[in-house]
Amino acid sequence: MDTRSHGNRITDNALEADDGRLLILKALSEIESKHGWKKSSSKPLFTGVYYDTQKVGSFIVPVKNLRGETAVLKLQLRPLTFDEGFIIRKIEEFNQSSIIRLPKIIRDEAWNEELNYGYLIFEDLSHLPNLWLKTPASSEEMKSHKLFLQEFLNNVLSIKPWLPQPKISIQQSYRDAFEHFYSIAQNSSYHHITDEQIQQFRDKYFEIIDECRFEPIHFTHAHLGGGDIKFDKQNNQFILLANLYWSFRPQYQEIVFPVWVELILTQKRNYPFKAFLKRIQEWTELWSKDLYSHNPSTKQQYWFNLLERAMMTVMLDLGSSEWKGNEEQTRAVFENWKKFFWWLVKDKFGGK
């Protein structure tokens, strides 16, 4: 395994992916024939794409068997270092929380060359709400997210990594990650930012990387937005989804990611930067009471994580990805992330 990678990096397949249409049809037919689980809706619950609807990595759809039982089928169309079924079982071995659990697996098979896909059939959780999905999250949803993270950090992160820790410096890992995603951006069919503009951001970003003092990385779930967590109020349980995203990540990854998710998804035609920045500060104040340290070195890591999110958003997540829906609204969000990058440079990194 390449120890330069953070781990099970899903985007490693981005350059070779196609729309997956024929493979999805093949997989659905074979799974129904072999195991009796049939697609119960023509509309998928989720299609995982590499910034482009013509580059599909995963496909999630509700299914039903002959006994009328319902479940969810996730098709993994591209090879990964570790499949999700393996990861879920590993987490279950070490999870010490009584209120955070993993989805119950019904049947699964890792991606292999013979099938040319992998699959995971797990319990139907569609009757349960996400921790939050619509944006902006309400104050109550924000408080629930904080409670979840307190429990997650205290009682789930005792897990023993099944990946070797990267053997390169944190500075080099940030540079390598940039180059990986930059190659995807260059090969994208969508360019909302010029390469010359990207280089201006890149130069400043690398300059700050070289001058920052970073906290040690740790093994964690790197994708804890509101849509990645289900909440079972009756049983007082959080169900942790998107478990492919376990990998080595910087400290504060868990609390920066949901901030980024909300602010990249909040589509407002008139969205002044002042309001955008106020929302970031509201999340930061919520975390600061219990989750966010004011130690200068760890504080710098928190703001650098947001700088990294801004860099990747400007370059790829919005800069070189397919804009679906209202382009005017997406443009407003894009412009705010560009302004936020330079605000961080000036306000948090001394105008370097």
3-class DSSP state of 106: strand
Cis, bond preceding 129 (omega within 30 deg of 0): no
pTM for this predicted structure: 0.91
pLDDT in tens, 43-78: 999 998 988 889 999 999 999 999 999 999 999 999
Looking at the domain that runs over 139-347, which CATH code has it been given?
A: 3.90.1200
Class of domain 10-123: alpha beta
Residue 221's pLDDT is 96
Residue 2's pLDDT is 36
Residue 1 pLDDT level (bands cut at 50, 70, 90): very low
Instruction: Report d(CA 101, CA 91) in Å as an integer.
Output: 9
Instruction: Report d(CA 150, CA 39) in Å as an integer.
Output: 37
Enclosing H/E stretch for 63: strand 56-64
**Cβ distance 191 to 283 under 8 Å?**
no
- In the chain, domain spans: 10-123, 139-347
How many Cα atoms within 13 Å fall on the side-chain side of residue 217?
A: 25
